[in-house]
A and B are shown apart, each in its own frame.
Chain A
């Protein structure tokens, strides 16, 4: 290829590469309109009341891909409906691209199946107590929102509900060890990570 063609080619490629750059320059605030959705039992299509709905807002930012930058919770009413108020906040670490929200729901005796836009589908849980305990661990992991800042505290109702159910399910002999991760998550939101860390260490040492 002649040199002048190669230079034009390179310039063109560079130009195309740089086109998306303005996307990270202009958008320093993230927001959400009011979210209204429903929690429904998958098979019967009946509404599920008193389900704890957790909505995570995520996007792509920085080097490490997806960030979860906001979390809100709500409880479904008798019609299975839930509502989360509109909000606006500074963008975490810049402007996440490809932003999306991810609703899920938790209710004792049920398990999450899927969500379609803002409709969340649950079904009755039919496993053993041990399987339920594992399920609670997965719910705890899945609802994590590391870059949520102050809104992370909105997870407290969910974390408390998970702890309460874990206490009911845990084997009496190993109860303290089994509920430890759930208790840590509750205390991290109540007292901060460092205090929660210290309390956890003291509990474990006192059991040894």
Chain B
């Protein structure tokens, strides 16, 4: 028993937390995904009535839709700071990157003895990163004694049962940037109507806000796909960014995600 305990202690004390992709890294990954996807083809978007060569095809407003409630939200300078220099911040690509950047929004930590303030806008008061985990071996979300968030596929698809075919919508979902939300926003952008054929966008300006919503939500989903490509998001690894906070993991190794800015400093040589 003492030997096992010693091994355990050595493991815990020498383990290294894994870090998430940084926001700038998510932005760059998404930029590349955009360029290599059909969205990078301006003719493809033209078929949907979108001028992808325009630096601002949709304006600066998007919608946060929750059932019948529709709130207007605006782009935030916070997002631009993490975009690559070459990205036009209000282009189609820019909106996609905004979603990929804002999917890591959190509210900070305010408990006795430990306060960390989040710099991101606090629009929906959600700790989104806790929902970016799914361990397929044990079919579990981020877990420290008990589940701390939703399973990432449920979070991204807007359902509570992602293996179902089709996954049933979760009407009470807090995340309003899911695949379901992107699809609904696209429907409204194209038709000006909501499912059920009620008018919701009667002007071009309103439909453009739904286009902005479509790409913003799609960017959030792309962020999840990027996270799911990382081992630490699928192994319940320590991941809080603050060593020891959240959960330590005795089996995690120094698997550190690329750091965009430091990487680029090294790339200067």
Contacts and interface: CB of A to CB of B under 8 A. Distances in A.
Interface of A: 5, 9, 12-13, 16-25, 28, 56, 58, 60-66, 68, 92-95, 97, 102, 104, 111-114, 135, 137-142, 144, 146-147, 181-182, 184-185, 188, 192-194, 197, 200-201, 204-205, 208
28 contacts: A17-B12, A17-B247, A22-B113, A23-B244, A24-B115, A56-B261, A58-B262, A62-B119, A62-B241, A63-B104, A63-B239, A63-B240, A64-B20, A64-B23, A64-B129, A64-B241, A65-B19, A68-B261, A93-B116, A97-B243, A135-B268, A142-B264, A144-B261, A146-B82, A185-B85, A193-B80, A193-B81, A197-B89
B12 A13 contact: yes
Interface residues of B, number: 58
Interface stretch (B1-9, B148-156, B190-198): B1-9
B241 A61 contact: yes
A201 B22 contact: no
Contact of B268 (A22, A65, A142): A142
A65 B88 contact: no
B248 A104 contact: no
B119 A5 contact: no
B245 A24 contact: yes
A137 B81 contact: no
Contact of B244 (A19, A63, A135): A19
Nearest to A162: B85
A200 B114 contact: no
Contacts of B257: 65
Interface string B80-121: 111011101110000000000000101011000111111100
Nearest to B267: A138
Given A61-B241, A63-B241, A139-B268, A146 B24 contact: yes
The 8 A-B residue pairs whose C-beta atoms are closest, nearest first, are A20-B244, A94-B116, A181-B85, A193-B77, A65-B19, A142-B264, A146-B81, A142-B265
B86 A181 contact: yes
A141 B261 contact: yes
B77 A112 contact: no
Contacts of A113: 269
A114 B265 CA distance: 9
B77 A137 contact: no
